[in-house]
Structure 1
Amino acid sequence: MNLKIWTPRYAKNRISLYIYEQFNKDKPWIAPTAIQWLDEHLNKNMMGVEFGSGRSTVWYAKRLKSLISIEDHQDWFKQVNDDLKNSDIDNISYLFKPSIMDSEGNIPYIELMDSIEESSVDIIVVDGKHRDTLALKAIDKLASGGYLLLDDAERYIPLKTHAPYNYLNQQSEQLPTWKEFSNVTKQWKQLQFSSGVSDTVILIKP
């Protein structure tokens, strides 16, 4: 435990988020205000892709026409897959893709993004491994007006936030891939949602 981050403000935010999550176990592990925004803006005409699955998977699928969800942790994949089998959802393509390089030098988790047609997706959720690479690749895959959701965004892009792991507060340099991402998306509308523990950002493609 990093005791340095446990300020009174952070403790209050952490407790509030814990209580919210205990009473909303069917909702994604992202900022609650982001969940509210998505609930108002997702619809059954949309196609989505999710990198990093969980209890969010069914939640997104219920609000979209179709969802491709990709997971790289095999035990977690089996658990979520069992949950999906017990649900009434039939619009999910749930895939296990390793996030490490194979014998041919490819990373299946990333290759899945490469296989998606350009300008064909309405929302892409980047909440798993290789976030920098996937966020960059997502740019061309989104349709105009599409949403790119980046969780724990304070760790990667410049944000004003009280979340403790903001890379700006740690006097760290933004990684080159994230700097490229920020430059490419600087004209996009950016919505920031914070729990005070972490930040969720939704960028809207022009």
Structure 2
Amino acid sequence: MRSFRHWTPRYVVDRIAIARFQRLDPAAPWLTPRAVEFLDRMLLPDDRGLEFGSGRSTVWLARRIGHLVSVEDDAGWHERVSRQLKELSLDNVDYRFAPRDLPEDRGGDSEYARSVLELPDASLNLVLVDGAYRDHCARYALPKLAPGGLLVIDNVNWFLPSQTRSPFSRGPADGPATPAWAEVLSIIGGWRTVWTSCGVWDTAIYLKP
């Protein structure tokens, strides 16, 4: 049975605030408002990026950086976003379909997660992890980030421990959600971090040294 215990007055206020932000800026990615503002300031026209999970972020990023690789696991959604990119004449996106065809514990063997492995090391300025097999995607992407590159993990509170008030979050006593997340945390734990929360979910941005 679904739990509604997290529907506190504070949570309702947070939900209203994020709905207002999305209504006022319908083109913004489905990240926290603070994360969107940070990325808007940090991204450069000649940056190269990779995103796992496509959607509003695909067009938004394509308009801000030089080249984007985008990996999507839903065929219908891939077709829809492909049409949108064509209609907007955004030809700087290498848009790939890779099905979510393995269980989570075998996600490291999936075409989806392993698609990043063909990219040269230190070739990316941005990696956005917001799709399937997020622990393995993040793990494989770390060597591909150039120094100063940004690793963005959406819904990070579901996977890595924090003190956030967002519901369904992992606390410090819970530790990382999977062994792969533990491996990722052992590497990025010392990186400069911008952890953002809207009270509904969290988005973390890690800056590679």
TM range (shorter): over 0.9
Return the offset for 1:183.
Answer: 1.1
- Listed as ranges, the gaps of 5+ residues in structure 2 are 103-107
1:113, distance to aligned residue in structure 2 (A)? 1.0
- Give 1:5's aligned residue: 6
Could you tell which deviates more after superposition, 75-84 or 33-42? 75-84
**Cα distance in 1, alignment partners of residues 170 and 42 from structure 2:** 29
Cα drift, residue 184 of structure 1: 1.2
Provide the C-alpha distance between the structure 1 equivalents of 2:168 and 2:19, rounded to a whole number of angstroms.
18
8 Å CA contact 1:155–1:167 kept in 2: the answer is yes
SS at match of 1:10: helix
Amino acid at match of 2:15: R
Q: Which amino acid aligns with 2:203?
A: T
Q: Normalising by the residue count of structure 1, what TM-score does the alignment of the two structures yield?
A: 0.93
> Who is 1:184 aligned against?
187
- List gaps (5 residues or longer) in structure 1: none
Deviations along 1:94-132, whole A, 9 cap, x unmatched? 11111214xxx9521122111111111100000000000
Q: Secondary structure at the match of 1:165?
A: coil
Q: Secondary structure at the match of 1:5?
A: coil
> Following the alignment from structure 2 to structure 1, what is the Cα–Cα distance between the partners of residues 113 and 38?
28
Of 71-80 and 172-181, deviating more is 172-181
Q: 1:191-202 to 2 correspondence within 5 Å?
A: 191-202=194-205
Structure 1: how far apart are the matches of 2:141 and 2:16? 34
Matched-pair identity in %: 36
Moved over 3 A (4+): none
Two-structure CA RMSD over aligned residues (Å): 1.5
Name 2:120's counterpart in structure 1. Answer: 117
- Does the 8 A contact of 2:161 with 2:175 survive in 1? no
